[in-house]
Structure formats: C-alpha cells, structure tokens
C-alpha cells in the first residue's frame, strides 16, 4: 500500500543533510578564506574540502526538492549513491582516525541512513505525492453523418459489404 507522505519525509531528511553540510561548509570556508588565499597546500586542501561540502549540500537540497519529493528513481539513486559515498569516505578518513569527534561526525551519516531508508520505502511502496487532479477531458465527438468513418462503423460502407 503506497504511503504518499514518504517521499516528502525523505526529501525533508535529504534537505536536512544538505543544510547541515551547506552550513558547515560555509562557516568553515568563510573562516579559512577570510584572510585571503590559503598560504600552504594543507590550508588549500582544507578550504577545498569545505567548498566541496557546500557543493554536496546544495546538490542534496536541489535533488531532494526537485526529484525525491516526487519519488523519482533518478533522484533516489543520485542522493543515495553520491551522498552515501561522501559519508562513507568521511567516516573512513575523518571519524575513524579521530580527526572529528564521533558525536559530530555521525550526524551527517545518521541523517543519510534515515533518508536512505525512508526514500527506499517510498520507492518500493510506489508512494507518489498527491497531485492536483487532471481536468476532465470531453470525449471525441461522433463521426459526422455520411462520413466514411460513420459508414464504416455502421456497416453500411465499403467495409460492411
């Protein structure tokens, strides 16, 4: 049985993931670039990391609001695969070695896990958000009397001989 609320919930969770990364990336890149271009390679790589967090945050929000909320299969795979790969790499490179505290480091991956579970349930259930009903269409008018189509359908024309 489809649940029409699941796509909206999934879009909200992916948007929250995006806002988390957009906010963190903006705050950290602002402080990293406030005094001018990075002086060394390490500082430049850190600034680039934060700029990438901004880009992934924007991607998560745009895909969530345009595709995931409509339960679109392409949107499902985009946010599932791309954001999942980002979080997996973040866990391996930053959280496991201890460069980031565990509580702060797990917030993004936990949001992604929730969004992935809800969007998977939405896609599997076929839940599509309620949309405006289509306007009623009027049936095509009958064939005019005496036309070849009218004769063919009544059996009095060449087809009925």
Domain range list for the chain? 6-124
Q: What is the pLDDT of residue 106?
A: 96
- Distance of alpha carbon 123 from its chain centroid, rounded? 12
pLDDT higher at 127 or 85: 85
Q: What is the pLDDT of residue 65?
A: 98
d(CA 44, CA 154): 81
Helix, strand, coil shares of the chain, percent, nearest 5, are 70, 0, 30
Q: Do the beta carbons of residue 119 and residue 68 sit within 8 Å?
A: yes
Q: Which pTM was predicted?
A: 0.75
Q: Do the beta carbons of residue 17 and residue 83 sit within 8 Å?
A: yes
Q: What is the pLDDT of residue 94?
A: 94
d(CA 81, CA 60): 11
Number of residues that make up the chain = 161
Q: Do the beta carbons of residue 6 and residue 122 sit within 8 Å?
A: yes
With a cut of 60, say whether residue 67 has pLDDT above it.
Answer: yes
Which phi-psi region, left, alpha or beta, contains residue 138 (left: φ > 0; alpha: ψ -120 to 50)?
A: beta
């Amino acid at each position: 049985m489809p649940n029409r609320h699941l796509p909206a919930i999934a879009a909200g969770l992916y948007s929250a993931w995006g806002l988390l990364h957009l906010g963190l990336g903006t705050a950290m890149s602002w402080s990293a670039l406030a005094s001018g271009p990075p002086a060394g390679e390490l500082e430049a790589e850190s600034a680039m990391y934060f700029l990438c967090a901004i880009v992934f945050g924007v991607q998560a929000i745009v895909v969530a609001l345009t595709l995931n909320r409509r339960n679109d299969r392409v949107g499902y795979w985009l946010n599932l695969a791309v954001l999942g790969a980002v979080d997996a790499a973040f866990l391996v490179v930053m959280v496991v070695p201890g460069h980031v505290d565990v509580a702060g480091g797990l917030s993004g991956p936990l949001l992604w896990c929730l969004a992935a579970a809800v969007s998977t349930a939405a896609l599997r259930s076929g839940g599509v958000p309620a949309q405006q009903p289509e306007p009623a269409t009027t049936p095509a008018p009958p064939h005019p009397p005496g036309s070849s189509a009218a004769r063919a359908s009544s059996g009095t024309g060449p087809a009925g001989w």
